[in-house]
């Protein structure tokens, strides 16, 4: 029991407080560069949204709406009123005029999603509601409202539909191969979109500790007294830096079938963004506005995305990314690494005593720097 008589169950009771509102904020303010560039490119393609929405007759959206209406609990003033208040609050902070319907679905697995072709629907599971405290849940609701504001729901719905379709046509080799190629591309985008939505959740909750607690609970369950944020973030650093090139390839293979990035990685990315100048500018009221979206240039978005990727590769501790940096930078010992690994492709040795073949040069193995 705590000092105030409440049983300690992993939930923290935090008094209500004023949060900053971001009137007219554009989703470009918080979108991860890779997510934003992909969405801007898709939206700028003539007729792309029209074609995708034309698929709505094939997609089970009406069926999904009826399913949740008939077999889940709709959040309102009379049902899950605390979630209803959080939803209204999140829409107010991100200035989303139309509040999406929200449902609680009986499922012990902690999860939440924002789906819908014409209008977004937010669904949270009972496992998630029971796992998180008020401030942690507020960040999750903000996360899903961020998906709605960014227009992610339509693509998420298509991903769910194609994943189901792939299972039904698995017996058709070429058909399944084509569908899985689309699923893989959508999953890669969706993993980036999750990083964007995490940022939206932080803008709504405005409590980095609560966001971190929520991610830790999703990874390790309702045992906060057994977990530590710093140690959790150290896991992300160890994951990124550990191993050799074989581990780098295994990391890629491990993440391919996932719709979400790994939890430790999400926590590290969110903490990094929370300490960035971009986040501080938003909190100070300086951010892109929705009425400026029509003037956004595709080229600018791609340049920002390219710069972000370049920075990530340059600063990454992953062995594969280090090798990419070496190749791009023309590392002096790269030729030696290749010759040692692929002797059959080595060039003839230079004449003895030449400028490039000094004494001992070929016999002294280059030293890797930390």
Q: Which residues are catalytic?
A: 144
User: What's 288-350 look like in SS3?
Assistant: CEHHHHHHCCHHHHHHHHHHHHHHHHHHCCCHHHHHHHHHHHCCCCHHHHHHHHCHHHCCCCC
**Alpha-carbon distance 24 to 72, whole Å?**
32
In 3D, which of 62, 183, 41 has the Cα closest to residue 116?
62
User: What's the CA dihedral at 259, 263, 264, 270 to 10 degrees?
Assistant: 90
In 3D, which of 26, 5, 49, 352 has the Cα closest to residue 199?
26
**Alpha-carbon distance 183 to 170, whole Å?**
13
360 CA to centre of own chain: 50
Contact between residue 264 and residue 236 where contact means Cβ atoms under 8 Å apart: yes
């Amino acid at each position: 029991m705590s000092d105030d008589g409440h049983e300690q169950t992993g939930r923290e009771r935090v008094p209500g407080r004023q949060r900053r509102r971001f009137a007219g904020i554009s989703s470009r303010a918080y979108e991860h560069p890779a997510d934003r560039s992909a969405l801007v490119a898709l939206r700028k393609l003539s007729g792309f949204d029209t074609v995708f929405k034309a698929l709505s007759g094939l997609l089970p959206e009406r069926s999904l709406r009826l399913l949740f209406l008939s077999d889940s609990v709709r959040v309102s003033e009379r049902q899950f009123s605390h979630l209803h208040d959080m939803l209204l609050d999140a829409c107010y902070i991100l200035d989303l005029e139309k509040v999406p319907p929200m449902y609680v679905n009986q499922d012990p697995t902690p999860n939440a999603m924002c789906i819908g072709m014409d209008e977004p629907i937010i669904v949270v599971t009972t496992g998630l509601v029971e796992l998180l405290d008020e401030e942690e849940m507020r960040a999750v609701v903000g996360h899903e409202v961020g998906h709605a504001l960014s227009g992610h729901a339509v693509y998420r719905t298509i991903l769910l539909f194609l994943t189901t379709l792939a299972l039904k046509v698995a017996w058709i080799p070429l058909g399944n191969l084509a569908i899985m190629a689309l699923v893989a591309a959508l999953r890669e985008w969706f993993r980036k979109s999750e990083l964007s939505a995490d940022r939206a959740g932080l803008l709504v909750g405005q409590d980095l500790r609560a966001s971190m607690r929520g991610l830790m609970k999703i990874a390790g369950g309702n045992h906060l007294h057994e977990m530590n944020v710093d140690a959790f973030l150290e896991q992300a650093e160890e994951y990124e830096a550990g191993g050799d090139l074989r581990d780098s390839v295994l990391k890629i293979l491990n993440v391919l079938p996932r719709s979400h990035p790994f939890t430790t990685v999400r926590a590290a990315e969110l903490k990094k963004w929370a300490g960035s100048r971009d986040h501080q500018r938003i909190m100070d009221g300086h951010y892109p506005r929705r009425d400026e979206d029509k003037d956004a240039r595709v080229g600018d978005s791609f340049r920002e995305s390219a710069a972000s990727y370049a920075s990530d590769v340059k600063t990454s501790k992953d062995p594969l990314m280090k090798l990419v940096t070496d190749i791009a930078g023309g590392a002096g010992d790269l030729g030696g690494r290749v010759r040692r690994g692929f002797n059959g492709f080595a060039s003839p040795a230079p004449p003895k005593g030449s400028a490039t073949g000094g004494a001992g040069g070929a016999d002294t193995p280059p030293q890797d720097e930390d």
